[in-house]
Structure formats: structure tokens, C-alpha cells
């Protein structure tokens, strides 16, 4: 942690720059070795990770494994593909440029800053780190102080397996984050809310540091009539209430065809009982809100509409039951900001045009979900809406596919990562043009007299 008596952010960055300048991180063999060490670290510390997440968020063990520990799959994907990613790519050159040849060389940026989030405090820190390592960078990692047990664990794990001149964890609150983002990095990768993302981007602008912002927003979920009702409900309930709704790509609100709403609500009641029992407060499979501030913010949303399922709260435990709210208007407070909790408002529509219009009247979301077997409807929603990503007939699962870039658009984020996209985020594609000494035509050299008609015929 940075304090008055400890090493400064500038000193850490300087040490990492010196290490980067040795060229060791540019070696593909070095990168592969570090990725393997990272995977070993996660596997060896699996139980400690799960315990930390339990302490911070009351995460059930299986949720911690599936959504945090399995970041190892991202490492495996990078290991499998890193040789191809790092290989220079030939670029086509037109006949006008004969006998030139061209290639694009991906090269590391240098020293990068990764600022993690509290809702998935391990995975959302390690996943971008995989891209940074694969691309050949040094990294400073700033975990979220709002998940203190996981932050402390990361601060213990990273120096146990890696040299601090290569990877360093810096703990602390807002003031430490402010110190860090004021420094000159080669890239800043931030995961969090839109308001803080603006602060990060403003600070980065002062040093012309490029940024990737993984933010959030109100991700809509459209439910058509042409569905398998049981599968639809299970997938929505799982995607919404995993991690007690504290997921950036959780369905934020439902747009339901009014013909199916009553049937859908009945199925929700049955499914929630099946998942969490009569009293989710005592279920071992249901999490808690991260802190009192977030709890109080969410409780205020319970004043909107009509609670048809759930609504129970316990301030002492930061517990909010899985809650579904009906008769919500688009102007309700619960519809004005990202919920980021276990509250699901429902808005009914008669025609899909209404649902699309509502989505398009708002900032572009991080994710959009559509449940429908109607391919024409699927194509229409894809063509007429914009979002960071789309998942058809499921929720959240798109984040686990390493071949799909993950990121937002507009207010929901800038840039993307996962798999090749993560490698590209932390790389610079250096263009290299090469000429030959075999011949040297005089058409571009002075004197120019009489050459223009030829050039117009040949190049025009």
C-alpha cells in the first residue's frame, strides 16, 4: 500500500520501466512462462480465493469457482494462441509499391495500470492481467478496496509468484487510485462505474495515456412469446440473481410481451423457490450486497412500482431478497440508473417497436438479451439496437467465450478484452514497410519536369 513512508507510485513505475527496458518481457517464451505461473498461482490459491470472496460478498463456492477461479480458462486460451498472436502478419501491398513488402508487428506497450472492480474482485483483476502478460507488458494492479479480503489476498499472492519489478499490487482507497491515475502509464485499464470512468479518463487525458473503460449500464432483456418458458425463466433468474445481482451484464430490466407476462411471473415465483427455497436469506446459494452504502441505494428502488416477488431486506446483513417489481414506468427512479443489485423491474410491451424504441432512447448498454425463437425478430433487434454485446436465448454466458471480444459502447465502455481482444488492447501494432535494393525507379525524384502526365496515368 502506498503511504508517506512507503515507495511512491512514481518509483514503482520507474522500476517497472527499467525492467521493461531489459527486453525480457518481449520474449514469447518469457510470456508463456509467466502465464503458466499465473495459472499455477490461481490453482494453488483456489481455496483462499473462495474464502476471500465468501468474506467480501458471501459468494457461494460454486459461484466463486465458475465466475472467478475459472479465469484459468482465459489463461489456457492465451497459452494456446499466443504464438499466433505474436507472429508478425503480412500486409498486402499494391503493385504501385513494387518491390516493397509490408508486415504488422504487435509489440508491448510497456507499463500498464489495471484497476479492478469489487463485484468480481478476483476475476475482473486477473482477466485483463492475462492480456497484459500475453502482450508482454509490466503491470501495476490496483484491486478494489471495497472487497478488502480479496484485495489483501491479491497483495499476498502476486509478490509470492512474481517479481515486483514485473507485476506489483498496490492497495488503498480513492486517494491511492488518484495518485496512480495521475502518473504516466502506457495504458490504463479500468473496470467500474461510468462516473468513476469519467474521472479516470479525465486524469489519463492529462498525460495522453490511452484507456480501456469497462463500465456498465442498464442492460435490457426482451422476452417474446415464442419461447421455451421454463428455460427462459431459469436463465433469466440465474443471470439476474447470481452474485446477488451485482453483475455488470446482469439483465437490468425486462421488456415483456404483455401476452405472456402473467405466465412469466408465475414461473418466476416457482423458479426462485426452486433456486433459493422459501427464504433466500438462509439459502447457502445466495449472496449479499457489498456494503451499507450500496444496500441503502438499492433499498430506495423498492419504493417504485409494485413488488410482486421478494422485497424483504435486512440492513444488518446487507441482505435484499430476489425481487421483481411490476407496474414500473420508464420514468421511475429504478429505471434511471444501473440497478446493480437483486431487483428486476418489468415493463410490458404490445409491439416490439415499443421495446426497441425504449432501448434506443437510453444510453447504449453493455449487454442486450432477447428470448425468442423467431429469427426475423432476432435479426430485427440485432439490426435496430446497439449494445456492447448480445446474447440470444440466454444471459451472461457470453462473457465466458474467449473468442468473443468483451466490452461496451458509448456510456457502457471504451475498448474490449478477453482472448485476442485482450492481447490487442495491451499491444501496439507497429507497421513496417520494407524496400529492396534490386532497383530504384526515378519517378518520385526531382527534377519533376515532364513526369506528371506519366504519374497520372500510372497512379491515377
pLDDT, average across residues 411-439: 96
Check residue 442 and give its pLDDT: 87
Q: Please say whether the beta carbons of 234 and 264 come within 8 A.
A: no
- The pTM of this model reads 0.94
Strands 319-320 and 138-142: unpaired
Residues labelled as active-site residues: 214, 248
Confidence of residue 1 (pLDDT cuts 50, 70, 90): very low
Mean pLDDT of 85-109: 95
pLDDT of residue 457: 85
- 377 and 230 Cβ atoms separated by less than 8 Å: no
User: At residue 459, does pLDDT exceed 90?
Assistant: no
Name the CA radius of gyration of the chain, rounded.
25
Fold of 220-407: Aldehyde Dehydrogenase; Chain A, domain 2 (3.40.309)
DSSP string, 63-94: HHHHHTGGGHHHHHHHHHHHHHHHS-EEE---
Q: Kindly give the residue spans of alpha helices, DSSP state H, lying in 108-173.
A: 123-134, 148-161
DSSP sequence for 221-242 = EEE-SSS-HHHHHHHHHHHHHG
Query: What are the C-alpha distances in Å from 142 to residues 70, 113, 191, 273?
Result: 21, 7, 11, 39
Give domain limits for the chain. Answer: 9-215+413-432, 220-407
What digits encode the pLDDT tens for the residues 333-390? Answer: 999 999 999 999 999 999 999 999 999 999 999 999 999 999 999 999 999 999 999 9
Nearest to 245, CA basis, from 168, 297, 167:
297
pLDDT of residue 352: 97
- Residue 5 CB partners (closer than 8 Å, separation 6+): none
- In this prediction, residue 96 carries a pLDDT of 84
Under a CB-based contact definition with an 8 Å cutoff, are residues 128 and 189 in contact?
yes
* CA dist., res. 225 & res. 374, Å (int): 9
b/e per residue 299-329 (b: at least 16 CB within 10 A): bebbebbebebbbebeeeebbbbbbbbbebe
Average predicted confidence (pLDDT) for the chain: 96
- Parallel/antiparallel/unpaired status of strands 367-371 and 220-223: parallel
- Residue of 283, 14, 277, 270 lying closest to 138 (CA atoms): 14
- Cβ atoms of residues 277 and 283 within 8 Å: yes
**Residues near 139 by Cβ (< 8 Å), separated by ≥ 6?**
16, 111, 112, 113, 114, 129, 132, 133, 166, 167, 168
Q: How far is CA 408 from CA 224, 258, 443, in A?
A: 25, 30, 48
* Residue 30 pLDDT exceeds 80: yes
Helices and strands of the chain, counted as H and E runs? 16, 20
What does the alpha-carbon distance between residue 99 and residue 114 come to, in Å, rounded to a whole number? 43
What is the fold, at CATH topology level, of the domain defined by 9-215+413-432?
Answer: Aldehyde Dehydrogenase; Chain A, domain 1 (3.40.605)
pLDDT tens digit sequence for 32-48: 999 999 999 999 999 99
Amino acid at each position: 500500500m502506498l503511504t508517506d513512508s512507503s515507495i511512491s507510485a512514481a518509483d514503482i513505475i520507474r522500476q517497472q520501466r527499467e525492467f521493461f527496458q531489459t527486453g525480457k518481457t518481449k520474449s514469447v517464451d518469457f510470456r508463456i512462462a509467466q502465464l503458466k505461473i499465473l495459472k499455477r498461482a490461481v490453482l494453488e490459491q483456489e481455496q483462499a480465493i473462495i474464502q476471500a470472496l465468501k468474506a467480501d460478498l458471501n459468494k457461494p463456492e460454486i459461484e466463486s469457482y465458475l465466475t472467478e477461479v475459472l479465469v484459468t480458462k482465459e489463461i489456457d486460451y492465451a497459452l494456446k494462441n499466443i504464438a499466433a498472436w505474436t507472429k508478425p502478419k503480412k500486409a498486402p501491398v499494391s503493385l504501385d509499391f513494387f518491390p516493397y513488402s509490408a508486415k504488422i508487428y504487435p509489440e508491448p506497450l510497456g507499463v500498464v495500470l489495471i484497476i479492478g472492480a469489487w463485484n468480481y474482485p478476483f476475476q475482473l483483476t486477473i482477466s485483463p492481467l492475462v492480456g497484459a502478460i500475453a502482450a508482454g507488458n509490466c503491470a501495476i494492479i490496483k484491486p478494489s478496496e471495497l472487497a478488502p479480503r480479496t484485495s489483501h489476498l491479491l497483495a499476498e499472492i502476486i509478490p509470492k509468484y512474481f517479481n515486483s519489478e514485473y507485476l506489483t499490487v498496490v492497495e488503498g482507497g480513492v486517494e491511492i487510485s488518484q495518485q496512480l491515475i495521475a502518473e504516466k502509464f502506457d495504458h490504463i485499464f479500468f473496470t467500474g462505474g461510468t462516473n468513476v470512468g469519467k474521472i479516470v479518463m479525465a486524469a489519463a487525458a492529462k498525460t495522453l495515456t490511452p484507456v480501456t473503460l469497462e463500465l456498465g449500464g442498464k442492460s435490457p432483456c426482451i422476452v417474446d412469446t415464442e419461447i421455451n418458458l421454463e428455460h427462459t425463466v431459469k436463465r433469466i433468474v440465474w443471470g439476474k440473481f447470481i452474485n446477488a445481482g451485482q453483475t455488470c451484464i446482469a439483465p437490468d430490466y425486462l421488456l415483456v410481451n404483455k401476452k405472456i407476462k402473467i405466465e412469466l411471473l408465475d414461473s418466476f415465483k416457482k423458479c426462485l423457490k426452486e433456486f433459493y427455497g422459501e427464504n433466500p436469506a438462509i439459502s447457502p446459494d445466495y449472496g449479499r450486497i457489498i456494503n451499507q452504502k450500496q444496500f441503502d441505494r438499492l433499498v430506495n428502488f423498492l419504493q417504485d412500482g409494485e413488488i410482486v416477488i421478494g422485497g424483504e431486506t435486512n440492513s444488518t446483513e446487507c441482505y435484499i431478497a430476489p425481487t421483481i417489481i411490476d407496474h414500473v414506468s420508464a420514468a421511475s427512479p429504478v429505471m434511471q440508473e444501473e440497478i446493480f443489485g437483486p431487483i428486476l423491474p418489468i415493463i410490458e410491451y404490445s409491439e416490439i417497436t415499443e421495446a426497441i424504441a425504449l432501448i434506443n432512447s437510453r444510453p447504449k448498454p453493455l449487454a442486450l438479451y432477447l428470448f425468442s425463437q423467431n429469427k426475423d425478430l432476432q435479426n430485427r433487434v440485432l439490426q435496430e439496437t446497439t449494445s456492447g454485446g448480445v446474447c440470444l436465448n440466454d444471459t451472461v454466458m457470453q462473457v465466458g467465450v474467449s473468442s468473443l471480444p468483451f466490452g461496451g459502447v458509448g456510456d457502457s465502455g471504451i475498448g474490449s478484452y478477453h482472448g485476442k481482444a485482450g492481447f490487442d488492447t495491451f499491444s501496439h501494432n507497429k507497421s513496417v514497410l520494407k524496400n529492396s535494393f534490386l532497383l530504384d525507379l526515378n519517378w518520385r525524384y526531382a527534377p519533376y519536369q515532364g513526369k506528371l502526365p506519366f504519374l497520372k496515368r500510372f497512379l491515377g
